[in-house]
Structure 1
């Protein structure tokens, strides 16, 4: 099996063409809408944690597994399904994936017990596994090259927006109509977009503009065997530590996203709708922090790339300290302010980690490198974060678990520290290869 990587010359040639502007933006809007549906379907569960716990007598471990299974499947299947989508056709793959996660979300709405809900959530994860990578690949292929950074940033920001909408809207719907309608609403939104996507977006309308099979998989692309690809993706200590540090830090973000509605419900007495809205506010703070921390990192490391590692370590340590202090405080304004401060920095390492990986991996395999970073983020952070927190909560209570979770940032800081130590030598070797 070979992975085909487009050459630099081909990428420039492909980007010289663009679909009609109006049609391109319609495709972007629909693809972005499905990204919102993706994260709304994934995160609506967290808003109804308190209701499911009471109705089905679930443990926190079980609740955490219902959230973590989606991220686990995303981590395991992102890379292989993305490769298949490139070969089979991105538009067809997107429609199939969105239909699957919408159908699985509808199955969540009619689940009668934990086992049925777990099975439904399993297929939500299968459907969502490769959507992020396939969706952004399709978007990039139909716009000029000079818009790629802007479009990529806007597309990825949709994940946080979708998570906020899923939790906030899910909590409100659950309070007024019941938790089943929370899932049903998300499924309906997904089905509507699937129908629109199927009717409006067509592969043959995109192929003339640089996204046809020959461009993706034909002679213009150079094959790279999986063994050689793996050797490049794990070619240095510093890049491996970037993967590890990024994943460990996101463990905290995932735990906070999953358990904040329950925390506000249990310790602040908030009903489901208000707890969902409150948790959504903290997620928005985290999303804003990702952007601000990335901008700050670029500014401070403009003349010395190694500073990215030092800055990432700083984000880890300060976010850990803020959250450790927060969960030692009694319920009240001071605690919420400290949680907000921690959330502002807790995902700040996302930008620096991406830059580290880009600097350390040859440009010809950047797409695969970011797929590997996504895998690490999911397997080390996003998947185990909610589950492990639930396991700990069953033993020491949710507050006790949240007092422990920020310590994972120290592991991330150690990983970034090791990477920093090897970075100069590894970067020098990579630059010599590029030359």
Structure 2
């Protein structure tokens, strides 16, 4: 092992922690795995019409096949990220990607709803902690000035993966049956998992000068981590706000293919392609709004959460109009697409805000806390609750009602803005004491 020694801490010097080519290789591989993560997660939504016909499932049951992954990810994310923060992030990611890819492939061999539900839960086991660990790696290898933009691009890979998952699922199911869709999308992740071992890792800074003593007791170590995470109101309000906005996102992602199929008479594969275009708009929005929010924060830091709050309200207004106002189908599609572009506004900035203010030694764990809220109280809620409302009142009503959660999200980001600058100042003071040193290779 030949560790590189940076000139100073990564955040105070605002520079790359490793060479630019190695940092961008790490970003490319982390981006690719996020892409396959969401391909495997979202492929099932385009298969809803086929599953409904084959097994006579309710919308609530179909939504649960999406929500179960988010619930498992939420429960497993913090323990996985805690281990990754103290051990090897790169090796942890490689193992996670292998597990979720194999679990996705196993879905093609299921013969009833219970088996498919269990296989989908195993996909969630593999995906636990990946987003938070990957985000922490990117945040540490790249300059702070690029953080929201790069994290927006990283999480936009989730939207792009959802696009490909929805589109591929519909096309493959139409030609070879819905079981084949799981097999086709599951194998590429295995190859990328092996290549990920070439990604550079970084050494973790100490939480306290007596960390070794704390690590002697698991309970004391957990208390150290909890203390490092719990002193920021910005983190908690951001986590709650991001979760509520993702209720809107997950509802749209899960139910648009069925909406176009039922209300516009589109064949399942055509409906999947139409929904994929909306999700693609979300991928573009995640990157674009990350860039916009970074620019707004350059003038004053608190503009970051304030800008996100405004965008959450705009998303609500657009979707309410799209699903309640009578208009030609083409106009409605354009309005839904614009809402799709707006709805991912929190993806990059929320992660950036949290990573800006948490202790540098628990970045993966801080991101995992955000992931817990996003998955348990955001991504898990939308498909299931939207399906339940659809069973009771109809799918169009569900799609008109669910965006109201964005108003709560906006209120949370307004509250985060009140504390962000003071929490940011405290975090910057810590960084003058700590220094992160990269590893020469993941195997070091």
The TM tier, using the shorter chain, reads 0.7 to 0.9
Q: CA deviation at 1:322?
A: 0.6
1:383-421 per-position Cα deviation (integer Å, ceiling 9, x unaligned)? 111111111111111111111101101111222233334
- Counterpart of 2:341 in structure 1 is 344
Any conservation in 1 of the 2:96–2:130 contact (CA below 8 Å)?
yes
Is 1:93 the equivalent of 2:89?
A: no
Any conservation in 1 of the 2:245–2:343 contact (CA below 8 Å)?
yes
Distance 2:152 2:415 in 1: 29
C-alpha distance 83-428 of structure 1, shift in aligned 2 (>3 A): closer
Distance 2:430 2:204 in 1: 25
- Counterpart of 1:68 in structure 2 is 67
Matches within 5 A, 1:201-280: 215=203, 223=211, 225-280=221-276
Is 1:41 the equivalent of 2:45?
A: no
Backbone CA RMSD of aligned residues: 3.6
Mind listing any 5+ residue stretches in structure 1 that lack a counterpart?
A: 1-5
Query: For 2:111, what is the secondary structure of its paired residue?
Result: coil
Any conservation in 2 of the 1:7–1:220 contact (CA below 8 Å)?
no
Distance 1:151 1:221 in 2: 32
Q: CA deviation at 1:30?
A: 5.4
Query: For 2:375, what is the secondary structure of its paired residue?
Result: helix
- Counterpart of 1:58 in structure 2 is 57
Is 1:182 the equivalent of 2:175?
A: no
C-alpha distance 156-120 of structure 1, shift in aligned 2 (>3 A): same
- Counterpart of 2:442 in structure 1 is none
Out of 280, 286, 307, which is 1:284 matched to? 280
Is 1:410 the equivalent of 2:407?
A: yes
- Counterpart of 2:217 in structure 1 is none
1:316-354 per-position Cα deviation (integer Å, ceiling 9, x unaligned)? 111101101110134612211221221121121234333
C-alpha distance 272-151 of structure 1, shift in aligned 2 (>3 A): same
Any conservation in 2 of the 1:174–1:272 contact (CA below 8 Å)?
no
Distance 2:196 2:400 in 1: 48
C-alpha distance 113-210 of structure 1, shift in aligned 2 (>3 A): closer
1:363-388 per-position Cα deviation (integer Å, ceiling 9, x unaligned)? 45444322222222112211111111
1:3-58 per-position Cα deviation (integer Å, ceiling 9, x unaligned)? xxx99957699976669x6x987776555443332221111001111111121111
Distance 2:57 2:68 in 1: 16
Mind listing any 5+ residue stretches in structure 2 that lack a counterpart?
A: 215-220, 433-444
Q: CA deviation at 1:430?
A: 5.6
Q: CA deviation at 1:286?
A: 1.0
Out of 294, 302, 305, which is 2:301 matched to? 305
Higher relative contact order (CA 8 A, sep 6+): 2
C-alpha distance 176-77 of structure 1, shift in aligned 2 (>3 A): same
Residue correspondences, number = 416
Q: CA deviation at 1:62?
A: 0.6
